[in-house]
Amino acid sequence: MISLISFEGGDGSGKTTQVKLLEGYLASQGKICLCTREPGGTTLGRMIRQALLEVGREEISSPTELFLYLADRAQHVQEVIRPALKSGRLVLCDRFTDSTMAYQGYGRGVDLDILRQLNQVASFGITPDLTFLLDCPVEVGLARTAQRVVEQRSDKRRQDRFEREKVEFHERVRRGFLELARAEPKRICVLDASRSTLEVHEEIKKIVVQKI
């Protein structure tokens, strides 16, 4: 039975949009689900998100960054995800443990075995039943985020800390996600996110219908 679906991918891959589209489709079919995200799925998480992504140009050390994400996840699972799963609700989560492996592990160089142990603690042992990895070339994703900044300039949106990272960092993150997918092909479905939003949604919809 599918209870927790996570959406993963690099910056500009379209995760948030696909979460919302799937939520809308499931609602149209009478399936009410909980949509949430990391970081920022709780009141405390929103504070952590601001510290992590909107701190300006102040440097955050890799260990600090890692433990902030883990703190966000522990609170998120305890306060939001576990209660929803216990009540029988389907949970759609925009980023989860795989992002920690890809960004802090492959991207920052933190030991992967240590990250697996820390993820286990912070997630209370919860693992997604199904993960959609929205994959696209780094240059495509970064172009999308740059365009988003331009479109939202009236709202004073700025690039977050990860969007300002060098291309090489994002390439390592992408490689990490793909390696995770190769290691767990039954859980992680890799989708070509360079296609149109509708094409990606239709593929996700088809897979979810088969699974649930």
Q: What is the CATH number of the domain that holds 99?
A: 3.40.50.300
**To the nearest 5 percent, what fractions of the chain are helix, strand and coil?**
55, 15, 30
Question: 83 and 76 in contact (C-beta within 8 Å)?
Answer: no
pLDDT score recorded for residue 1: 79
pLDDT score recorded for residue 35: 97
Q: What pTM was estimated for this model as a whole? A: 0.92
Question: 69 and 95 in contact (C-beta within 8 Å)?
Answer: no
Residue range 153-205, pLDDT digits in tens: 545 555 677 778 889 999 999 999 999 999 999 999 999 999 999 999 999 99
List the domain range (segments joined by +) for residue 63: 4-211
Residue range 106-133, pLDDT digits in tens: 999 999 999 999 999 999 999 999 999 9
The total of structural domains in the chain comes to 1
Average pLDDT, the chain: 92
